[in-house]
């Protein structure tokens, strides 16, 4: 499946070709040396300005940009009312404990951050609701995919079979070496580790993208409705990578929101 990167001023965005077909939705993943984090990486004092420019490039309001705390958990929060705009420009304002965000309100851009973890967006074009989530190995094993889909179904009467999903760049199975305790955590949570763990040179490598894709399918999202970047953040050089850069690196962002 073809994907493309587009540029608006200094903002370069990766977009899913599948989601880009939907006129009611805007989305993008920031590419390159463009730190979207407020607390880590280079030039954090300029992060609010970068976030504003990214929102402008996507045609949504920076003032209504909403961010979760991201604790590597499985909580998904509905974004409405006073939650709109939380975490936009200060880390203290983030929605506490949330790794997933969902809304059915227009011009409420939802943002999740990453530096190797999986980020993904889900959209129901019939009821017009969108959700995003941050899924590291803990969140993926812990059920963030199921929680986000179930929350959208319950809150907005979404239906999994008509949802469209896009999985952004993340640590790939080519590079994402993990320990036995990680594999055991997935197995204990009911994941088929034969599908998501590769062996190479006696070491185990996790296919994080596939773990998210399989859980989307288990939740009822059709395989043909799931797009994936297929880009490894560790070795591509196009995205921030904690494995590659350590604590000195920044974070890229997935932003998705409904438009009129």
Distance CA 30, CA 13 (A): 5
pLDDT (average), residues 109-114: 98
Domains contained in the chain, number: 1
Distance CA 105, CA 245 (A): 37
Q: Given this model, what pLDDT does residue 151 score?
A: 98
Say if pTM beats, i.e. exceeds, 0.75.
yes
Instruction: Give domain status of residue 191, yes or no.
Output: no
Instruction: Give domain status of residue 60, yes or no.
Output: yes
Q: How many helices (H) and strands (E) does the chain have?
A: 8, 15
- List C-alpha distances in Å: 251 to 9, 34, 185, 197: 19, 8, 26, 25
Q: Who contacts 215 (Cβ-Cβ below 8 Å, separation ≥6)?
A: 140, 145, 146, 191
Q: Given this model, what pLDDT does residue 2 score?
A: 29
Instruction: Give domain status of residue 185, yes or no.
Output: no
Instruction: Give domain status of residue 248, yes or no.
Output: yes
Instruction: Give domain status of residue 151, yes or no.
Output: yes
User: Token pair of 180, please?
Assistant: 């036995």
Helix, strand, coil percent values for the chain (each to nearest 5)? 30, 30, 40
Q: Given this model, what pLDDT does residue 3 score?
A: 43
pLDDT (average), residues 107-125: 98
Instruction: Give domain status of residue 90, yes or no.
Output: yes
CATH code (residue 233): 3.60.140.10
Q: Given this model, what pLDDT does residue 248 score?
A: 81
Q: Summarize pLDDT for 198-235 with one digit per residue, the tens.
A: 999 999 999 999 999 999 999 999 999 999 999 999 99
Instruction: Give domain status of residue 30, yes or no.
Output: yes
Instruction: Give domain status of residue 223, yes or no.
Output: yes
Q: Summarize pLDDT for 21-51 with one digit per residue, the tens.
A: 999 999 999 999 999 999 999 999 999 999 9
Range of the domain at 39: 3-171+209-258
């Amino acid at each position: 499946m073809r994907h493309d990167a587009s540029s608006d001023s200094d903002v370069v965005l990766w977009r899913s070709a599948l989601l880009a077909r939907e006129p009611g939705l805007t989305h993008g993943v920031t590419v390159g040396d463009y730190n979207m984090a407020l607390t880590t990486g280079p030039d954090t004092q300029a992060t609010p300005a970068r976030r504003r420019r990214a929102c402008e490039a996507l045609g949504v309001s920076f003032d209504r940009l909403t961010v979760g705390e991201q604790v590597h958990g499985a909580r998904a929060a509905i974004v409405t009312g006073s939650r709109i705009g939380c975490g936009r420009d200060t880390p203290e304002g983030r929605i506490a404990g949330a790794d997933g965000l969902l809304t059915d309100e227009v011009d409420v851009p939802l943002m999740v951050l990453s530096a190797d973890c999986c980020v993904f967006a889900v959209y129901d074009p019939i009821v017009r609701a969108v959700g995003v989530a941050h899924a590291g190995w803990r969140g993926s094993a812990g059920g963030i995919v199921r929680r986000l889909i179930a929350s959208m179904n319950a809150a907005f009467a979404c239906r999994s079979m008509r949802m469209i999903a896009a999985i952004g760049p993340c640590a790939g199975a080519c590079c994402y070496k993990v320990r036995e305790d990680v594999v055991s955590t997935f197995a204990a949570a009911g994941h088929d580790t034969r599908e998501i763990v590769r062996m190479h040179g006696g070491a185990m490598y996790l296919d994080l993208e596939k773990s998210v894709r399989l859980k989307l399918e288990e939740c009822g999202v059709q395989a043909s409705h799931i797009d994936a970047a297929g880009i490894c953040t560790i070795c591509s050089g196009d995205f921030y990578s904690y494995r590659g850069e350590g604590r000195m690196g920044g974070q890229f962002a997935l932003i998705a929101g409904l438009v009129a």
